Structure 1
Amino acid sequence: MTVHPSLQTYADAWTHSVTAISELVTPLAEGEWNWATPCPGWSVRDLVSHVIGLDCEMLGDPRPIHTLPRDLYHVQTEIQRYMEMQVDIRRHHTAPEMTSELEYTIIRRSRQLRNETRDPGTLVRGPLGSEETLESATRRRAFDVWVHEQDLRTTLNKPGNLDSPGALVTRDELLTYLPKVVAKRASAPANSAVVFDVQGPLEFLRTVRIDADGRGTIDSAPSLGPAVTISTDWETFFKLACGRVKLSSVTDRIKAEGDQDLARAILERFSITP
């Protein structure tokens, strides 16, 4: 148990997901580590390298000194370059090297979480030299690791854990972005409401309300006259929000009632991950 209850939910979610990742990749043959994942340009090995690398950074390990190749087509932005460093430096590691480092990183990180004494508001190192609170960083790791667990499950055709502790953290994390998606990106009209009705392993209904000044808020109360009601399943919701699928490939799994132009504007701008 961590000292601070506000961190425990995220620690438990991370533990559940990273353990699942270890169980998924440990039996893989060497060639299977090269299979492509839903993350552009990343193999199974690359995705696991990313998980290892970011948890090593949470442990305070120094970032690798490494020069990236110039021909990585999927690396276009500074944040992508930042993430790629931990990946590219492990690209020639063997399967036993990968599983051993993953296991060792899980042991170290689990011990850190169990013995955590810092206040959740403590500032810690974030990407590109930024700072964020310990609580935010721990929550983001739980979110990130669960999404990558699902990436691996897609690649290996082993579905599961769609309602796990990590799934709950991911749902809450994605919902915080909905007001921005609806109000700012999709320019929903003032004094309107957009309802999201999600079914499946995780069922929830949320309403984004736009006030007279164009600002968006979100709550769990239904709206009597929404401009749009978007209905879909949880897997489609998170994969679209995390940029894992294109809208054109999942239109048959989404139902939109009301203003169709607004619905399309929202769905076309739904991805929130870098």
Structure 2
Amino acid sequence: MDEVRAAFRDECARLAEILRGLDEADLDRPTPCPPWAVRDLVAHVRTGAGRVVDMLAAPAPDRAEVDAAGYFGAAKFTPEVDHARIDSARREARERPGVPEVAADFARTWRATDEAVAAQPPGRLVHTRHGDAMTLTEFLRTRVVEVGVHGLDLADALDRRPWLTPAAAAVVADLLTGGRPVPAGLDWDPLTVIRKATGRAALTDRERTLIEESAFRWLSFAG
């Protein structure tokens, strides 16, 4: 939990800093996650970062049934779920029209989550909104993925260098690869692993060949 919580804190604090420096026009830039603009994607990330508070207010399940890798299953990517996710983010974005509101709301949300996590005993279990029973640590790991990976999308939308923090990069890359090293010859750093594994950077023919020859597999968000 300490490692995952530190990654969540680092990545959220960095995103909050970025948001405070935006101007109003930045919020309407298109993102690599259509049809969302920056304001919509930020609303989606804010909602995801804040889910823990309500989850911890509910009764805990008896046992964990999935881990962070299992959480990213096909049920999270059905057309119905995707439509609801898109519409919800756009509605919430309209409620916070300006940069000060967007930045302040995200800062409040992630800090409330961090405080709620800090107050929990070791091994705390939670139910997700999809009905998954998992440990709080594993669910928080999925939040690091959400904030970190969508942070790459926001950086692309804003024409900025990726600001992914080392702690978050390590957590996300480890989850995507199952803790396995990438095949020899790829020489990928964690940021490249994340970009390649999530489809945010295309594989070259050489990379594809090395991966196929080594039978290397990574977590698919749609799988």
Return the TM-score normalized by structure 1: 0.62
Residues 65-121 of structure 1 deviation map (CA, whole Å, 9 limit, x = unaligned): xxxxxxxxxx962432453354132132312321221121123123223x332332x
> Which of 198, 202, 218 is the equivalent residue of 1:242?
198
Gaps of 5+ in 1: 1-6, 63-74, 179-193, 203-233
> Which of 126, 140, 143 is the equivalent residue of 2:142?
140
> Which of 30, 37, 40 is the equivalent residue of 2:24?
30
Identify the residue that residue 107 of structure 2 maps to in structure 1: 103
- The aligned amino acid for 1:42 is W
Identify the residue that residue 227 of structure 1 maps to in structure 2: none
Q: CA RMSD of the aligned region, Å?
A: 3.3
Q: Does 1:118 align with 2:66?
A: no
- The aligned amino acid for 2:115 is R
- The aligned amino acid for 1:28 is L
Residues 197-250 of structure 1 deviation map (CA, whole Å, 9 limit, x = unaligned): 442544xxxxxxxxxxxxxxxxxxxxxxxxxxxxxxx42x322311324x4xx4
Which moved further from structure 2: 53-62 or 30-39? 53-62
Q: 1:127 to 1:241 in 2, by over 3 A?
A: farther
Supply the distance in 1 between the matched residues of 2:41 and 2:90 (Cα, whole angstroms). Answer: 11
User: Could you say which structure has the higher helix fraction?
Assistant: 2
Contact kept, 8 Å, 1:243 with 1:272, in 2: the verdict is no
SS at match of 2:130: helix
Q: 1:88 to 1:172 in 2, by over 3 A?
A: same
1:24 positional shift: 1.4
Supply the distance in 2 between the matched residues of 1:161 and 1:97 (Cα, whole angstroms). Answer: 22
Contact kept, 8 Å, 1:82 with 1:128, in 2: the verdict is no
Identity among equivalent positions (%) equals: 23
Q: 1:87 to 1:24 in 2, by over 3 A?
A: same
- The aligned amino acid for 2:18 is L
SS at match of 1:132: strand
Identify the residue that residue 10 of structure 2 maps to in structure 1: 16
Identify the residue that residue 231 of structure 1 maps to in structure 2: none
Contact kept, 8 Å, 2:127 with 2:133, in 1: the verdict is yes
Identify the residue that residue 220 of structure 2 maps to in structure 1: 272
Return the TM-score normalized by structure 2: 0.74
Gaps of 5+ in 2: 58-76
Identify the residue that residue 129 of structure 1 maps to in structure 2: 131
Identify the residue that residue 174 of structure 2 maps to in structure 1: 172
